[in-house]
Amino acid sequence: MSDIVERYNIPEQHFWLHGPRAGGPVEHNAAAGMWNVYGYPELQEILGDPATFSSNVLRITPEDQKPEGLSLEGFITQIDPPEHGKLRKLVSSAFTRKVVADLEPRIAAVTHELLDEARERGGFELVRDLAYPLPVIVIAELLGVPSSDRGLFKQWADTLFRQDTKVSFDELFERRPQDRETTMKSWWEMSAYLAGHAAERRRQPRADLLTKLVEAEVDGERLPDEQVVNFAIVLLLAGHVTTTMLLGNTVLALDAFPEHQERARADRAAIPAIIEESLRFFTPFALLARATTREARLGGVTIPADQTVLVWLGAANRDPRQFTDPDVFDPDRDPNPHLAFGRGIHFCLGAPLARLEGRVALDILLDRFDHLRTDPDDPVVFMPMPTMTGVRRLPLV
Ligand code: HEM
């Protein structure tokens, strides 16, 4: 591990670099008033029991810290059963496997266009030139909003994910008032933007996902506009930064482990397993949050009711009780039951799309580059915060 850490300047804050936590799979952080869970079987228990571990963490957020006027109606990741099941059924009827599979030729065309543009400009920085714009363009086109507005999406997502702040593990959940203000400003701008588009689709339907969402019907019920907007926000936020990281991390892995790059070149059928191992090894969305609704026993520890539980997917994906030699990048793990897309009722709805984008983009990169190699004179920049694992800058030669 240490050679990768040094070679790619992976910041210390990514604690999964340092092996299993000394405090065991469940730790109480008394100062922060939260519980950290790192172990694989413990995460399985949490994600499989939404009645005890609720996704609605706002429930236990003190009133004075709740963002004013914020509605989480339709914000699918924060909703518990039975409402969650109803919403998931509705949105799944619009966001089907066929809708995703039909995107393959368009994903390939956009990848080629982006690589052509980069060639004309000269120099190739994978995140800026491909891994960032590709998922945003794909989601924007899928929803039916102009992909030329992607500068706006980036601005909103950067604020909401606080990409530019260097925070330590302990500072992670200390939000300063000015952070909250800027975050909420981005939130309202994004909501207003999408509400405008949703209202237009009601007046004038088009062949896009926003239209499908405003028209989707289950048991005679339709989604109100507020829910359509919040679901579209989840798609824009959950769907692009994570996929950017998946693409960057997988190319980084092919640089770090050239034997796997050679294998994928010789046999493109090897790509899906490399993507799965990249998701385990560099888990993009490293952290989820839950709130206990009642007392729970977990990993030999008792967690009282109404507590915030931080669910560290990145750590569980390196739990030696589940994965043999977890620090070895081994695409031959079969099965590879990583938790990068979550587990249970909230399992990532966009997983087929992320996997498709990864496969298509890697296939084309291998076609167009004789060697995918990082530039020794231009360092890789890794995300600083432990909640996300991914490269922010990946210059290739
Ligand atoms: C849920 C990760 C790509 C849409 C989730 C969850 C994870 C995750 C861990 C579970 C959240 C929880 O249990 O609280 C990822 C990763 C991605 C990715 C690592 C890329 C590599 C996408 C894409 C889309 C998407 C491309 C859509 C365009 C969603 C949605 C949910 C979700 C809608 C909520 C599902 C629910 O609550 O029922 N994702 N995601 N994701 N993801 Fe993804």
Cα-flanking dihedrals φ and ψ of residue 168, to 5°?
Answer: -85, 170
- The residue contributing the CA closest to ligand 1 atom 42 is 348
Q: Decide if pLDDT at 164 tops 50.
A: no
pLDDT at 223: 84
What atom in ligand 1 is closest to the CA of residue 344?
A: 13
Best residue for ligand 1 mutational test, from 348, 353, 360 (most atoms within 8 Å of Cβ): 348
Report residue 343's pLDDT band, with 50, 70 and 90 as the boundaries: very high
Q: How far is the CA of 192 from the centre of ligand 1 (A)?
A: 23
303 pairs with which residues across the strands?
Answer: 296
- The residue contributing the CA closest to ligand 1 atom 2 is 341
Q: How far is the CA of 350 from the centre of ligand 1 (A)?
A: 6
What stretches of the chain show up as alpha helix (H) in DSSP? 2-7, 40-47, 83-94, 97-101, 104-121, 126, 133-143, 150-161, 177-203, 209-215, 225-256, 258-266, 271-281, 313-316, 351-368
Please enumerate in sequence order all residues whose Cβ is within 8 A of that of 9, keeping only pairs 6 or more positions apart, or say none: 379, 380, 381, 382
Q: Decide if pLDDT at 369 tops 90.
A: yes
- The residue contributing the CA closest to ligand 1 atom 39 is 348
β pairing state of 34-37 and 308-312: parallel
CB half-sphere exposure, 140, CA atoms < 13 A: 18
Asked whether the ipTM of the predicted complex exceeds the cut of 0.90, the reply is: yes
- Cα(40)–Cα(319) distance, rounded to whole angstroms? 6
pLDDT at 44: 98
- Tens of pLDDT, residue by residue over 279-321, are 999 999 999 999 999 999 999 999 999 999 999 999 999 999 9
Mean pLDDT (whole number) for 142-160: 83
What atom in ligand 1 is closest to the CA of residue 283?
A: 19
* Cis before 50 (ω within 30): no
Report residue 15's pLDDT band, with 50, 70 and 90 as the boundaries: low
Cα-flanking dihedrals φ and ψ of residue 35, to 5°?
Answer: -115, 135
Sign, CA torsion 358/364/366/368: negative
Q: How far is the CA of 167 from the centre of ligand 1 (A)?
A: 24
Spatial contact of 138 and 235, defined as CB atoms under 8 Å apart: no
Name the most confidently modeled range: 44-53, 81-90, 114-123, 186-195. 44-53
Cα-flanking dihedrals φ and ψ of residue 4, to 5°?
Answer: -70, -40
Mean pLDDT (whole number) for 139-165: 78
Q: Decide if pLDDT at 165 tops 70.
A: no
For domain 14-371, the CATH class is: mainly alpha
- The residue contributing the CA closest to ligand 1 atom 12 is 346
- Cα(156)–Cα(168) distance, rounded to whole angstroms? 23
DSSP letters for 295-339 = -EEETTEEE-SS-EEEEEHHHHTT-TTTSSSTTS--TT-SS----
What atom in ligand 1 is closest to the CA of residue 76?
A: 37
pLDDT at 168: 45
- Cα(89)–Cα(250) distance, rounded to whole angstroms? 32
pLDDT at 175: 52
312 pairs with which residues across the strands?
Answer: 287
- The residue contributing the CA closest to ligand 1 atom 15 is 341
Q: How far is the CA of 285 from the centre of ligand 1 (A)?
A: 9
Q: How far is the CA of 342 from the centre of ligand 1 (A)?
A: 8
What atom in ligand 1 is closest to the CA of residue 354?
A: 26
pLDDT at 69: 66
CA distances from 256 to 6, 73, 136 (A): 12, 43, 27
- The residue contributing the CA closest to ligand 1 atom 30 is 349
Q: Token digits for 163?
A: 């990409």
Q: How far is the CA of 343 from the centre of ligand 1 (A)?
A: 10
Spatial contact of 85 and 93, defined as CB atoms under 8 Å apart: no
Q: How far is the CA of 397 from the centre of ligand 1 (A)?
A: 32
Q: How far is the CA of 238 from the centre of ligand 1 (A)?
A: 6
Q: How far is the CA of 348 from the centre of ligand 1 (A)?
A: 4
Report residue 123's pLDDT band, with 50, 70 and 90 as the boundaries: confident
Q: How far is the CA of 86 from the centre of ligand 1 (A)?
A: 17
Q: What is the mean pLDDT of the chain?
A: 89
pLDDT at 222: 83
- Cα(232)–Cα(290) distance, rounded to whole angstroms? 22
Report residue 169's pLDDT band, with 50, 70 and 90 as the boundaries: very low
List all residues whose CB is within 6 A of at least one atom of ligand 1. 55, 76-77, 88, 139, 234-235, 238-239, 242-243, 246, 284-285, 288, 340-342, 346, 348-350, 353-354
Mean pLDDT (whole number) for 244-249: 96
What atom in ligand 1 is closest to the CA of residue 77?
A: 37
- For 353-388, letters b (16+ CB in 10 Å) and e give bbbbbbbbbbebbbeebeebebeeeeebbbbbbbbb
Please enumerate in sequence order all residues whose Cβ is within 8 A of that of 67, keeping only pairs 6 or more positions apart, or say none: 180, 183, 184, 187
Give the start-to-end residue ranges of the domains of the chain.
14-371
Identity of residue 208: D
